[in-house]
Amino acid sequence: MAGDHQLRLLALDGGGVGGTSTGGLIAIMLGRLRMTVDECINAYTTLSDRVFEKKHHRFNIKGNLQGRFDAAELERAVKRILVERGLDEETLLLEDSPEAPCKVFVCATSKETKDTVCLTSYLSPRGRRHLLESTTIWQACRATSAATSFFDPIAIGPFGEEFVDGARGKQSGLRSLQWAWAEVPSVNWHPVRDDVLGITSTLKELATETEKTAQKFQRDKRSLDREGHYYRFNVDCGLEDVRLQESAKKKEIAAATTSYVASQAVFQQMTACANSLAARELDLDYGEYKTPFSLQGVPVSKQFVPRPLDTAEIEQSLLPRPGTRHTGRRIFVLHGLGGIGKTQLAVDFARRHQAVFSSVFWLDGRSEDRLRQSIAGCAGRIPSHQLSTGNKYPVARGGTDLDDAVTYVLEWLARPDNTDWLLCFDNVDLDFERGGVAGAYDIQRYLPGDHGSVLVTTRLLKLAQLGDSKRLTKVDQDQAKAIFTSWYGQQLVITKSSTELLELLDGLPLALAQAASYLRETGLGTSSYLRLYKQQWDHLMSADAEPVLPQTVDGQHNVGTTWTISFKAIEARNQKATNLLRLWAFIGNKDLRHDLLQLGVNGNEDAPATWPAWLNDLACNEVMLLEAVRLLLRYSMIETQESMPGSYAMHPVAHR
């Protein structure tokens, strides 16, 4: 960091920064020259103003395409920056110090072989030593920027090898990273002719390849996305008409970029990225309180599709800030409809950030007995030298006294200097209020001390008051398609029937997974499943149907099972609310309001005689209706409609 706390981009965890073409210039400025971001912006702006002024004729006397801009001016501009940074004009790209804080690489393409070559500031097993020991910073900048349509090629190294723009072979920054990681082979490009038709054809390929590469990378490297190691930011509109040479359009570039960054989705994704980076900078020496991370027995889905905006809210609440320690307890409650993805989102958070916490304990919250068994099971992961020598020792190592084991673990977590743990209470769905039902409990009895981080998943709206909270709602269209494709095992072809099916499932993750798995196992097409869904929904989704999703520890592997639990809990508390749910299935899933029921009574003289007593009661007594609705809201079976106060809606899958 600079003395005045300006932002610098340096390597984290032995990583680095790289790029191609103009991205390569920026990588060198940030990583090799140690510029702050503001310094880099100013230097690049000045460079572009100078370099992109003078335009050559596009063709030489032989009719071949030549660089439009003066390569010598680019060389002078880079050397000027080096001198301003206190360096010699001929400074090598290779770092003198083996402990350099940031590794840098830029890509260029060999004109002779068409191979992509990474020019690096560090020793690399795949590097070309003769280039490593001779390539200067300004030569690397020229080589990675030598797009045939902008700058002439450059010859570097002891053998005078000619290089052109790195974007030819590595048109996406992701390809560059893949090369540096040696995880995938280089792109096989055919030789490019120097004539107009050859260059035009190549540029057309490059224009479409970047987005395809990004999409393929995200599919192939889904684990990087899932674990919080991959974020991609790309201004998606406003820059379509701004070309590389149009440096005068800085205000258009700034406006489009500011608008992109200010959008809620991008802001939250950037927050998630910053939180992920900050977490790796923390002092993670937890000493004696560090326990091994394990999700054994936890319902983990390999097909999980990241939900970055939702994850960012959990991170904002629960992740510690760099240079600080937890003060007080932090609680985040994920609540929502059964099947909406609460458990898998919590699992994803725990996996992404397990290194940030001294301990991560996953607790089965479906009943008090299951919860206590889970807590007791954590005793075996506590360091053995911290175990008591009395009767609690056998409990911690598989003894039979459950109460002692629970007490021991909670006391260990409550120790004043053991503050950096995370407890995940999953599926706390039984309401203990007014006696509750068998197995219900007060979760606050199991919150140790006044510190630590707690993540709760529940259908019970009232638990949101425990701390920060979020009502998890349906996923968007892109995520819905990604979830479906993940479970389907192949690309979903967008047809009229597949589009209608996705609309009917309306972003409910469990229903999407169940439908896709059914198609995969039966070989049915989307049109056939759509017909069955409309005609035989009860059998497809029922709790008694043959499961198509993998068995998980909570046993809730289909929509019917998960909602039956909520329905039975409601039925035990309020028969009128149960009857209202049943009636709701025969009318529209939206806009249920008291005034509509009241209108039905007032406008129909026979209503008191023909309507069932419970419905008459709800229509004539608004408070009674609100009590029924309140219970349905409490179990997340319905939701309020923000656009119309006093109106309620049910998810279309639940409505069927």
Separation between Cα atoms, residue 410 and residue 356, nearest integer Å: 21
| pLDDT, position 346 | 95
Residues with Cβ within 8 Å of residue 641, at least 6 apart in sequence:
590, 591, 647, 648, 649
Q: Is 165 a catalytic residue?
A: yes
| pLDDT at 446 (0 to 100) | 96
Domain boundaries, the chain: 16-231, 271-471, 477-541, 574-655
Q: What is the pLDDT of residue 517?
A: 83
Low-confidence ranges of the chain (pLDDT < 70): 1-15, 52-68, 96-100, 125-127, 146-150, 165-215, 217-219, 221-228, 238-249, 264, 268, 275-287, 321-327, 385, 387-400, 434-436, 538, 540-563, 600-609, 655-656
Q: What is the mean pLDDT of the chain?
A: 76
Domain spanning 574-655, CATH class: mainly alpha
Q: What is the DSSP string of 551-589?
A: P-TT---SHHHHHHHHHHHHHHH-HHHHHHHHHHTTS-S
Provide the pLDDT for residue 326: 56
User: Domain 271-471: which CATH class?
Assistant: alpha beta
For residue 250 the two structure tokens come to 């800085």
Q: How many CA atoms lie within 13 A of 103 on its CB side?
A: 15
SS3 at position 649 = strand
408-431 residue pLDDT tens: 999 999 999 899 999 999 999 988
pTM summary value: 0.61
Q: Is 374 a catalytic residue?
A: no
Active-site residue, from 21, 121, 276, 469: 21
Question: Pick the catalytic residue: 48, 70, 121, 165?
Answer: 165
pLDDT at 529: 83
| Residue 185: predicted pLDDT | 30
* 625, HSE (Cβ side, Cα atoms, 13 Å): 18
**Nearby residues of 408 by Cβ (< 8 Å), 6 or more positions away:** 379, 388, 392, 395, 396
294 is written with which tokens?
A: 């394990």
Cβ atoms 25, 18 nearer than 8 A: no
H helix and E strand count, the chain: 27, 12
